[in-house]
Structure 1
Amino acid sequence: MNEIEPNEILDYVKKEKSAIFFHTPLCGTCKVGRRMLEIVEMTLPNMKIASCNINTASEIASAYNIESVPCLIVFSEGTVKEKVYAFQSVDYLYSLLKAE
Protein backbone atom coordinates (compact mmCIF):
# COMPACT_ATOMS: atom_id res chain seq x y z
CA MET A 1 0.00 0.00 0.00
CA ASN A 2 1.53 3.26 -1.12
CA GLU A 3 1.45 6.36 1.06
CA ILE A 4 0.19 9.38 -0.86
CA GLU A 5 0.26 13.06 -0.05
CA PRO A 6 -2.95 15.08 0.34
CA ASN A 7 -2.29 16.97 -2.92
CA GLU A 8 -2.23 13.64 -4.83
CA ILE A 9 -5.61 12.36 -3.68
CA LEU A 10 -7.85 13.95 -6.32
CA ASP A 11 -5.71 12.62 -9.17
CA TYR A 12 -5.48 9.20 -7.52
CA VAL A 13 -9.25 8.70 -7.22
CA LYS A 14 -10.64 10.37 -10.33
CA LYS A 15 -10.11 7.77 -13.06
CA GLU A 16 -11.05 4.35 -11.73
CA LYS A 17 -12.20 2.51 -8.65
CA SER A 18 -9.88 3.05 -5.73
CA ALA A 19 -9.76 3.33 -1.96
CA ILE A 20 -7.83 5.50 0.45
CA PHE A 21 -7.02 4.41 3.98
CA PHE A 22 -6.78 7.42 6.30
CA HIS A 23 -4.74 6.86 9.46
CA THR A 24 -2.41 8.38 12.02
CA PRO A 25 1.02 6.92 12.81
CA LEU A 26 0.35 6.36 16.52
CA CYS A 27 -3.12 4.79 16.16
CA GLY A 28 -3.05 1.12 17.18
CA THR A 29 -6.38 0.35 15.50
CA CYS A 30 -5.00 1.93 12.32
CA LYS A 31 -2.07 -0.48 12.37
CA VAL A 32 -4.44 -3.45 12.59
CA GLY A 33 -6.57 -1.99 9.80
CA ARG A 34 -3.50 -1.51 7.61
CA ARG A 35 -2.52 -5.17 8.04
CA MET A 36 -6.03 -6.25 7.10
CA LEU A 37 -6.02 -4.04 4.00
CA GLU A 38 -2.60 -5.32 2.95
CA ILE A 39 -4.04 -8.85 2.88
CA VAL A 40 -7.02 -7.67 0.83
CA GLU A 41 -4.70 -5.77 -1.50
CA MET A 42 -2.80 -8.98 -2.29
CA THR A 43 -6.02 -10.77 -3.23
CA LEU A 44 -7.44 -7.89 -5.31
CA PRO A 45 -4.51 -6.70 -7.44
CA ASN A 46 -6.74 -4.56 -9.68
CA MET A 47 -8.06 -2.51 -6.76
CA LYS A 48 -6.02 0.61 -6.12
CA ILE A 49 -5.55 1.12 -2.36
CA ALA A 50 -3.42 3.93 -0.95
CA SER A 51 -2.95 5.36 2.52
CA CYS A 52 -2.78 8.93 3.77
CA ASN A 53 -1.69 10.30 7.14
CA ILE A 54 -4.63 12.40 8.32
CA ASN A 55 -2.28 14.54 10.44
CA THR A 56 -0.97 16.08 7.22
CA ALA A 57 -4.34 16.17 5.47
CA SER A 58 -6.65 18.33 7.59
CA GLU A 59 -8.26 19.95 4.53
CA ILE A 60 -9.01 16.51 3.06
CA ALA A 61 -10.43 15.36 6.40
CA SER A 62 -12.82 18.31 6.37
CA ALA A 63 -13.73 17.89 2.70
CA TYR A 64 -14.66 14.22 3.16
CA ASN A 65 -16.10 14.69 6.68
CA ILE A 66 -13.72 12.14 8.20
CA GLU A 67 -14.83 11.78 11.81
CA SER A 68 -12.19 9.39 13.14
CA VAL A 69 -9.42 7.03 12.12
CA PRO A 70 -9.00 4.51 10.78
CA CYS A 71 -11.22 5.47 7.87
CA LEU A 72 -11.42 3.77 4.50
CA ILE A 73 -13.08 5.73 1.71
CA VAL A 74 -13.96 3.83 -1.45
CA PHE A 75 -14.20 5.86 -4.65
CA SER A 76 -15.51 5.18 -8.13
CA GLU A 77 -14.32 7.68 -10.74
CA GLY A 78 -13.85 10.38 -8.10
CA THR A 79 -17.17 9.85 -6.33
CA VAL A 80 -17.32 8.58 -2.75
CA LYS A 81 -19.14 5.24 -2.77
CA GLU A 82 -18.51 4.06 0.77
CA LYS A 83 -16.94 5.30 4.00
CA VAL A 84 -15.93 2.70 6.58
CA TYR A 85 -14.73 3.24 10.15
CA ALA A 86 -15.22 -0.27 11.55
CA PHE A 87 -12.86 -2.73 9.88
CA GLN A 88 -14.76 -5.81 10.98
CA SER A 89 -12.64 -8.48 9.31
CA VAL A 90 -10.51 -9.23 6.27
CA ASP A 91 -13.52 -11.00 4.73
CA TYR A 92 -15.69 -7.92 5.26
CA LEU A 93 -13.13 -5.61 3.63
CA TYR A 94 -12.58 -8.05 0.77
CA SER A 95 -16.32 -8.24 0.05
CA LEU A 96 -16.68 -4.47 0.27
CA LEU A 97 -13.81 -3.75 -2.12
CA LYS A 98 -14.58 -6.58 -4.51
CA ALA A 99 -18.16 -5.36 -4.90
CA GLU A 100 -17.02 -1.91 -5.94
Structure 2
Amino acid sequence: MDELAIEAYKTNKPKGTHVLFFKTPFCGTCQLAEQLLTLTLETMNGKALPTFICRAEEWQAYIEEWQVESVPCLVFIKDGHVMQKLYAFESVTKLYELYKKYE
Protein backbone atom coordinates (compact mmCIF):
# COMPACT_ATOMS: atom_id res chain seq x y z
CA MET A 1 0.00 0.00 0.00
CA ASP A 2 1.68 3.17 -1.22
CA GLU A 3 1.06 6.77 -0.30
CA LEU A 4 -0.60 8.76 -3.07
CA ALA A 5 0.06 12.48 -3.46
CA ILE A 6 -2.85 14.66 -4.50
CA GLU A 7 -0.93 15.99 -7.51
CA ALA A 8 -0.34 12.46 -8.80
CA TYR A 9 -4.03 11.64 -8.41
CA LYS A 10 -5.14 14.75 -10.26
CA THR A 11 -2.88 14.07 -13.24
CA ASN A 12 -3.13 10.28 -13.40
CA LYS A 13 -6.27 8.92 -11.74
CA PRO A 14 -6.33 5.13 -11.46
CA LYS A 15 -8.71 3.52 -13.94
CA GLY A 16 -11.51 1.22 -12.84
CA THR A 17 -12.06 0.51 -9.16
CA HIS A 18 -9.55 1.61 -6.56
CA VAL A 19 -9.50 2.37 -2.85
CA LEU A 20 -8.26 5.42 -0.97
CA PHE A 21 -7.43 5.22 2.74
CA PHE A 22 -7.68 8.65 4.37
CA LYS A 23 -5.77 9.21 7.59
CA THR A 24 -3.94 11.84 9.61
CA PRO A 25 -0.46 11.42 11.12
CA PHE A 26 -1.37 11.66 14.81
CA CYS A 27 -4.63 9.70 14.74
CA GLY A 28 -4.32 6.58 16.90
CA THR A 29 -7.46 5.05 15.42
CA CYS A 30 -6.01 5.62 11.95
CA GLN A 31 -2.91 3.64 12.91
CA LEU A 32 -5.02 0.71 14.13
CA ALA A 33 -7.17 0.86 10.99
CA GLU A 34 -4.05 0.85 8.83
CA GLN A 35 -2.83 -2.30 10.59
CA LEU A 36 -6.16 -4.05 9.93
CA LEU A 37 -6.10 -2.89 6.32
CA THR A 38 -2.52 -4.12 5.86
CA LEU A 39 -3.46 -7.54 7.26
CA THR A 40 -6.47 -7.68 4.94
CA LEU A 41 -4.41 -6.85 1.87
CA GLU A 42 -1.82 -9.47 2.85
CA THR A 43 -4.53 -12.16 3.07
CA MET A 44 -5.58 -11.31 -0.48
CA ASN A 45 -2.15 -12.35 -1.82
CA GLY A 46 -1.70 -9.42 -4.19
CA LYS A 47 -5.18 -9.76 -5.70
CA ALA A 48 -6.74 -6.83 -3.83
CA LEU A 49 -8.00 -3.69 -5.52
CA PRO A 50 -5.33 -0.99 -5.88
CA THR A 51 -5.23 0.73 -2.49
CA PHE A 52 -3.51 4.00 -1.65
CA ILE A 53 -2.81 5.92 1.55
CA CYS A 54 -3.90 9.57 1.47
CA ARG A 55 -2.95 12.22 4.01
CA ALA A 56 -6.27 13.88 4.73
CA GLU A 57 -4.79 17.34 5.20
CA GLU A 58 -3.57 17.32 1.57
CA TRP A 59 -6.87 16.10 0.12
CA GLN A 60 -9.32 18.72 1.46
CA ALA A 61 -11.00 19.45 -1.89
CA TYR A 62 -11.79 15.77 -2.48
CA ILE A 63 -12.74 15.23 1.16
CA GLU A 64 -15.34 17.97 0.83
CA GLU A 65 -16.53 16.79 -2.59
CA TRP A 66 -16.88 13.19 -1.44
CA GLN A 67 -18.26 14.23 1.97
CA VAL A 68 -15.71 12.30 3.99
CA GLU A 69 -16.88 12.97 7.54
CA SER A 70 -13.95 11.73 9.61
CA VAL A 71 -10.75 9.70 9.56
CA PRO A 72 -9.91 6.93 9.23
CA CYS A 73 -11.99 6.47 6.12
CA LEU A 74 -11.75 3.92 3.34
CA VAL A 75 -13.29 5.16 0.08
CA PHE A 76 -14.11 2.75 -2.75
CA ILE A 77 -14.11 4.56 -6.10
CA LYS A 78 -15.17 3.23 -9.49
CA ASP A 79 -14.62 5.29 -12.62
CA GLY A 80 -14.41 8.49 -10.57
CA HIS A 81 -17.55 7.86 -8.51
CA VAL A 82 -17.64 7.03 -4.80
CA MET A 83 -19.24 3.62 -4.36
CA GLN A 84 -18.89 3.30 -0.60
CA LYS A 85 -17.20 4.86 2.42
CA LEU A 86 -16.18 2.90 5.49
CA TYR A 87 -15.40 4.50 8.84
CA ALA A 88 -15.62 1.52 11.21
CA PHE A 89 -12.72 -0.88 10.63
CA GLU A 90 -14.21 -3.69 12.70
CA SER A 91 -12.29 -6.72 11.48
CA VAL A 92 -10.15 -8.21 8.75
CA THR A 93 -13.15 -10.33 7.74
CA LYS A 94 -15.36 -7.27 7.20
CA LEU A 95 -12.67 -5.52 5.17
CA TYR A 96 -12.02 -8.67 3.12
CA GLU A 97 -15.72 -9.03 2.28
CA LEU A 98 -15.93 -5.37 1.28
CA TYR A 99 -12.96 -5.73 -1.07
CA LYS A 100 -14.53 -8.85 -2.61
CA LYS A 101 -17.78 -6.93 -3.16
CA TYR A 102 -16.04 -4.43 -5.46
CA GLU A 103 -13.62 -6.75 -7.30
TM over 0.5: yes
- Quote the sequence identity (%): 32
> What residue identity is the alignment partner of 2:60?
S
Query: 2:23 matched to which residue of 1?
Result: 23
Q: Are 1:35 and 2:48 an aligned pair? A: no
Q: Are 1:60 and 2:62 an aligned pair? A: yes
Cα root mean square deviation, aligned: 1.4
Residue segments in structure 2 that go unaligned for 5+ positions in a row: none
> What residue identity is the alignment partner of 2:20?
I
Instruction: Give the paired residue count.
Output: 99
Structure 2 SS opposite 1:65: coil
Q: Give distance in 2, aligned partners of 1:42 and 1:66.
A: 26
Q: Could you list the runs of 4 or more consecutive aligned residues of structure 1 that deviate by over 2 angstroms after TM superposition?
A: 7-13
Q: Give distance in 2, aligned partners of 1:62 and 1:81.
A: 16
Q: Give distance in 2, aligned partners of 1:66 and 1:92.
A: 20
Residue segments in structure 1 that go unaligned for 5+ positions in a row: none
Q: Give distance in 1, aligned partners of 2:40 and 2:17.
A: 15
Q: Give distance in 2, aligned partners of 1:7 and 1:72.
A: 20
Contact 1:6–1:60 (CA<8 Å) still a contact in 2?
Answer: no
- Structure 1 length normalisation: TM-score? 0.90
Contact 1:70–1:85 (CA<8 Å) still a contact in 2?
Answer: yes
